[in-house]
């Protein structure tokens, strides 16, 4: 993925069949080459009208939606979120995967949620609670603690000052071909292909940034009207 306009859909670091039998090849192909591609195309088309925005990074676009021209604000919010959320989702899949968190993140999960089984139950409950389309997330909050939260549609946790560690896409397009309408089965299967190695790296990067007092996340320029359900 390049830093800014024109954004391109880089190939996944694994074949579309890599998550079989948990997530099927056709779903992975459609999800990446059609759904993510559409968000990238829409974002590029929207930005093409405003040359001044072409050197903004994806994160800058997400964090500063309120200062964008009004006629493209909604389109940029939807599509930059769609690009970020999908890239994050795909980057946190692996097969074979470690079946449990490990390292520093594992310690933090045990501290916050007691044990992995309890974390898993709470994360699943959150993912099931998303009404319609959206995501469940494991994030680090402003106090440096882990939290489970959900977002609707293509909203992201970034404007709330939350740092994503892991997410699951629970839009129906992420599972309908294999799991039909049974989101719970998809969530159970997804737990088998969580890239805990990458999630641990996300967590370590965040905690190292906090320790050194720097953060890549700027404060949002204005209070942000997103539809968040915080648990």
Q: Tell me how far, at minimum, the Cβ of 28 lies from Mn ion, in Å.
A: 11
Of the pair 37, 44, the CB lying nearest Mn ion is at: 37
Is the Cβ of residue 81 or residue 159 nearer to Mn ion in the bound state?
81
Q: Which of residues 173-212 bind Mn ion (CB under 5 A)?
A: 174
Nearest 10 degrees: Cα torsion 161, 12, 53, 222: -10
Sequence-ordered alpha helix ranges (H) in the chain = 25-30, 37-47, 58-63, 70-91, 103-113, 116-129, 176-179, 183-190, 196-211
User: Binding of Mn ion at residue 171 (CB under 5 A)?
Assistant: yes
| Residue whose CB is less far from Mn ion, 68 or 83 | 83
Nearer to Mn ion among residue 83 and residue 174 (C-beta): 174
Could you tell me if 203 and 165 are in contact, meaning their C-beta atoms sit under 8 angstroms apart?
Answer: yes
CB of residue 151 vs Mn ion: minimum separation in angstroms? 12
Binders of Mn ion: how many residues, by CB under 5 A? 3
The set of residues, in sequence order, having a beta carbon less than 8 Å from that of 158 and lying 6+ positions away, is 59, 62, 63, 84, 164, 217
Query: What minimum distance in Å lies between the beta carbon of 99 and Mn ion?
Result: 24
Residue 11's φ and ψ, nearest 5 degrees, are -60, 150
Under the criterion CB under 5 A, does residue 169 sit at the interface with Mn ion? Answer: yes
What distance in Å separates the CA atoms of residue 161 and residue 145, rounded to the nearest whole number? 12
3-state secondary structure of 78: helix
Per CB under 5 A, 39 contacts Mn ion? no
Which residue is nearest to Mn ion, using beta carbons?
Answer: 169
Nearer to Mn ion, 17 or 153 (CB): 153
Binding site for Mn ion (CB under 5 A): 169, 171, 174
């Amino acid at each position: 993925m390049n830093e800014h306009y024109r954004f391109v859909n880089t190939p996944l670091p694994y074949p579309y069949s890599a998550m079989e039998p948990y997530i099927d090849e056709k779903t992975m192909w459609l999800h990446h080459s059609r759904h993510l591609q559409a968000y990238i195309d829409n974002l590029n088309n929207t930005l093409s009208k405003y040359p001044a925005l072409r050197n903004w990074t994806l994160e800058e676009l997400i964090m500063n939606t309120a200062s964008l021209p009004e006629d493209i604000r909604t389109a940029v919010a939807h599509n930059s979120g769609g690009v970020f959320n999908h890239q994050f989702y795909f980057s946190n899949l692996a097969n074979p995967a470690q079946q449990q968190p490990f390292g520093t993140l594992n310690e933090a999960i045990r501290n916050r949620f007691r044990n992995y089984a309890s974390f898993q139950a709470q994360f699943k409950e959150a993912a099931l609670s998303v009404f319609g389309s959206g995501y469940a997330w494991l994030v680090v909050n402003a106090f440096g603690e882990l939290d489970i939260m959900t977002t609707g549609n293509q909203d992201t946790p970034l404007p709330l000052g939350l740092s994503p560690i892991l997410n699951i896409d629970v839009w129906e397009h992420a599972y309908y071909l294999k799991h039909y309408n049974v989101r719970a089965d998809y969530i159970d299967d997804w737990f088998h292909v969580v890239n805990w190695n990458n999630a641990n790296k996300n967590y370590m990067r965040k905690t190292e940034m906090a320790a050194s007092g720097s953060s890549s996340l700027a404060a949002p320029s204005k209070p942000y009207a997103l539809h968040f359900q915080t648990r």
